[in-house]
Chains A and B, each alone.
Chain A
Amino acid sequence: MDKKMNNYEQDFPILKQKVNDERLVYLDNAATSQKPRAVIAALTNYYYHDNANVHRGVHTLAERATEKFEEVRLKVKNFINAPSEREIIYTKGTTEGLNWVARSYGMSHLKQGDEIVISYMEHHSNLVPWQQLAQKTGAQLKYIELLADGRLDLESARQQITDKTAIVALTHVSNVLGVVNPIAQVANLAHSHGAIMVVDGAQSTPHMKIDVQSLGADFFAFSGHKMLAPTGIGILWGKSRYLNEMPPLEFGGEMIDWVQLQETTFKEIPWKFEGGTQNIAGVVGLGAAIDYLSQIGMEQIEAHEQALSAQALPALEQIKGLKIYGPLNPALRTGIISFNLDQLHPHDVATALDMEGVAVRAGHHCAQPLMKYLGVAAMARASFYLYNTEQDVEQLVKAIKATKEFFKNGTV
C-alpha cells in the first residue's frame, strides 16, 4: 500500500475522537463522507467574506459570490471531463438529478409501449423515478439480471435492450455489491437501439477518475456529500443537445429571461434549470472538495481503496459463518463490502461493531428489490474512503470476530 495515503486522516478533524471509548473507525462512507479542514474552511471563509446572492447584484460581494459559483462549474466540468461547463447543472444531489431526467426528458419523450431498462442492483433513487415515469406514460420498466457473483449480466442486457427501449439507466458502481458496471459497453448497446444512457454516479465519482465522454453517457448524476463536500449539493451533467430541448422543472427567480403577464422566456442552459436561490455555500464547498481530491489524484484514491479491500476480503473470508456479497476478487470491486454474519441480524451486528468504535451501515441499503433478488432481508456494509487505513481494517476484522464471540451462544 502507498504509504503516502496514510496521512490523510489528519486532515479530517471528526475522525480524531473516541466512540464508546474506542478509536472511531468510520466505515459508512458509501452513505456519506467526512469533510476535510479545507472544505470546512472554504465554507467558513465564504460566509465570513463573500456571502451574497448570485447573478443579480451589482455590488462587490454579489460579484465575488457569482464568480466563485461559476468557477466551480468549470472545476466540475474538468473533474468529469464534460465537453462544456454549460452542461453542468447544480442539483441538491443524485436523487434530484435522476428525478429531473425522468420528469423532464422522460415525460417529454416517452410514450406508451416504450421501454425503460434498469438493473436489479439499482438504488431506489435510480429505480423509483423510472417506475413513476413508466406508470405515467404507459412505458414498460425492465430489469437486467445479475450474474451469480453479483456482476451485471451483459447477455441479459443484450436481451432486455431492444428497439423499443428509450432509456437505459444504470448505476456506475453498486452501493451494495461494490461492483463497477461496464457502462461504456451498455451505452453502446443503448445507442445502437436509439436509446439514451443515464448513469447514476453517486458511488463512483468520489472514488475513481470519471470521464463522462469515454463512458458514453448522455446523463450523469452524482452527489457532493459522498465526495467530501457538504450535503445538499450535487451535479447533473447532460449532453447539451438534450438539455437544450428539455423543459425546466422549477419556475421562479434566477431561471427566467423575460417575464410578461401571460408568458415567460427562460434563460439558456444551465441556468434555466436552476430556479430560486441556489445552495451557493454548497457549491463553494464542492469546489474545495474537488481541489482536495484532485491534489491527491483520483487514480491514487482508487488504488488505495482497492488495497484496503484486498486486505479486508481475505481476512473476512476466514471468519467462519461470514458471507460476503459480490465478487471476492478485489480487482472486480471498489471499497464497498456488504456481508452477513452467521444468522445474526445485521442490526445486531452493527450495534455490536459500534460498541467497538466501528461505524457501518445495516439494513436494505435503499435497494429492496436487490435484497429480494438475492434472497436476504438485510445486510451490514463497510465502505472505505481515502482516509481509512490498514489499522481501520484490522479493527473492523477484530470487532467482527468479537461480535461473533459475543453472540456465539446464539440469538435468532
Chain B
Amino acid sequence: MALSRLDNLYRQMILDHAAHPHHHGKLTNAKQQLELRNPTCGDVLQLEVSLDDGKISEIAFSGTGCTISQASASMMTDEVLHKTPAQVEKMVTTFSELVTGQDPANADEILGDAAILEGVTQFPARIKCATLAWKAIYQILAEVQD
C-alpha cells in the first residue's frame, strides 16, 4: 500500500531521465571540469562545461548515483544549456528553495521540467541527491568567474 507514495517521488519523467540521461558522458574539449562527491552515500558526479559568448555552450555529466541524482543531473543539463552564469545562479537558488519546501515564485518558469523534482520535499533524506548536480554547476561557474 505505502509504496504508492513513491509515485510522488518517482514520477515517470524522472524515471525516464534516469534511464536515458541527457548530456551523459564526456566533452571532447571541455573548458571547465569539476568532480563533486556526496560523502554520506559515496555518489560521484563529474561535470564538464564550456562557455561561449558568455553562455553555457556545451555540458556533460558522468559518475554514479541514484535515480534522483541522475535524473536531476540530466534535467539540470537540459535547463542550463545556453544560459548565462547569472541566469544559472538564479536557477540554482530557485531549485534549492523548491526542494526544501520554500515555495519560490515562478519556479516552473525558471526551472522548466526540473520543477517536477519538487516531490522530493516529502522525502527529506533524498534532498541532497536532488541538489548534487545543481551544487556542481554553481561551483563550476563560480570558478569560471574567479
Known: A347-B126, A351-B123. A364 touches B6 (CB 8 A): no
Main secondary structure of the interface of B (DSSP, over half): helix
Which of B56-70 touch A at CB < 8 Å? 64-68, 70
Q: Could you tell me how many residues of chain B have their Cβ less than 8 Å away from some Cβ of chain A?
A: 25
Contact indicator per residue, chain B 1-15, by CB within 8 Å of chain A (1) or not (0): 111011001100001
Return the chain B residue nearest A21 by Cβ: B2
Asked if A409 and B123 sit within 8 Å, CB to CB, the answer is no
Say whether B43 contacts A411, CB under 8 Å: no
**Known contacts A345-B67, A351-B6: does B129 contact A412 (CB below 8 Å)?**
no
User: 9 closest A-B pairs (Cβ-Cβ)?
Assistant: A345-B66, A364-B42, A347-B66, A363-B41, A355-B2, A377-B64, A411-B67, A412-B18, A20-B2
Taking A21-B1, A378-B43 as known contacts, 13 extra A-B pairs with beta carbons closer than 8 A to each other, sorted by chain A number, are A22-B2, A345-B66, A345-B67, A347-B66, A351-B9, A363-B42, A364-B41, A406-B6, A407-B10, A410-B19, A412-B18, A412-B19, A412-B67
Q: How far is the CA of A21 from the CA of B1 in the complex (A)?
A: 9
> Which chain B residues lie closer than 8 Å to A403 at the CB level?
3
Q: In the bound complex, do residue A410 and residue B3 qualify as a contact, i.e. CB atoms below 8 Å apart?
A: no
The answer to whether B3 and A356 touch across the interface, beta carbons within 8 angstroms, is yes
Residue A357, interface by CB 8 Å: yes
B73, chain A: closest CB distance, angstroms: 11
> Given the complex of chains A and B, what is the CA–CA distance between A112 and B44 in angstroms?
35
Q: Which of B6, B9, B64, B123 has the most CB of A within 10 A?
A: B6
Q: Is A345 a contact partner of B42 (Cβ separation < 8 A)?
A: no
Closest chain-A Cβ to B99's Cβ sits at a distance in Å of 15
Q: How large is the interface on A (under 10, 10 to 19, 20 to 34, 35 or more residues)?
A: 20 to 34
**Which residues from chain A contact B70 at a C-beta distance below 8 Å?**
412
CA distance A357 to B1 in the complex (A): 11
Interface positions, chain A 318-367, Cβ under 8 Å from B, are 344-348, 351-352, 355-357, 362-364
The answer to whether the Cβ of B125 comes within 8 Å of any Cβ in the partner chain is: yes
A352 to chain B, nearest CB (A): 6
A402 within 8 A of B: yes
Asked if residues A352 and B6 are in contact (CB atoms below 8 Å), the reply is yes
Distance to closest chain B CB from A348 (angstroms): 5
Separation of A163 and B40 alpha carbons in the complex (Å): 38
**A379-412 contacts to B (CB < 8 Å):** 402-403, 406-407, 409-412
With the chains together, A362 CA to B15 CA distance in Å? 20
Distance A290 CA – B19 CA, assembled complex (angstroms): 50
The residue on B at minimum CB distance from A19 is: B2
Q: Which of A346, A364, A378, A402 contacts B3 (CB 8 A)?
A: A402
**B77 CB, nearest partner CB in chain A, Å:** 16
Which of A345, A407, A409 is B65 in contact with, Cβ under 8 Å? A345
Q: B126 contacts A351, CB within 8 Å?
A: yes
Q: Are A377 and B2 in contact (CB under 8 A)?
A: no
**What residue of chain B has the Cβ atom nearest to residue A371's Cβ?**
B42
> What's the minimum C-beta distance from B5 to chain A, rounded to whole angstroms?
5
Cα separation A21 to B3 with both chains bound (whole Å): 11
- Least Cβ distance of A325 to chain B in Å? 15
Among residues of B, the one whose C-beta sits closest to the C-beta of A363 is B41
Is B6 a contact of A409 with CB atoms below 8 Å? no
Name the residue of chain B whose CB is nearest to the CB of A368: B42
Nearest A-chain residue to B4, judged by Cβ? A355
Q: Which A175-216 residues sit within 8 Å CB-CB of chain B?
A: none
- Out of A348, A368, A407, name the residue touching B68 (CB < 8 Å): A348
> Which residues of A have CB within 8 Å of B5?
20, 355
Which residue of chain B lies nearest to A409 when distances are taken between CB atoms in the complex?
B15
Q: Which chain A residue shows the least CB distance to B5?
A: A355
- 15 contacts across the A-B interface (CB closer than 8 A): A346-B66, A347-B41, A347-B68, A347-B129, A351-B9, A351-B125, A352-B6, A355-B2, A355-B5, A362-B41, A371-B42, A378-B43, A409-B15, A410-B15, A412-B18
Per the bound structure, the CA–CA distance linking A267 and B10 in Å amounts to 60
B19 touching A411, Cβ below 8 Å = yes
Nearest residue, chain B, Cβ from A22: B2
> With the chains together, A347 CA to B70 CA distance in Å?
12
**Could you say which of B15, B67, B123 has the most chain A C-beta atoms within 10 Å of its C-beta?**
B67
Contacts of A364 in B (CB 8 A): 41-42
A373: min CB distance to chain B, Å: 14
Among residues 67 to 102 in chain B, which have CB atoms less than 8 Å away from a CB atom of chain A? 67-68, 70
Chain B residues with Cβ below 8 Å from A362 are 41
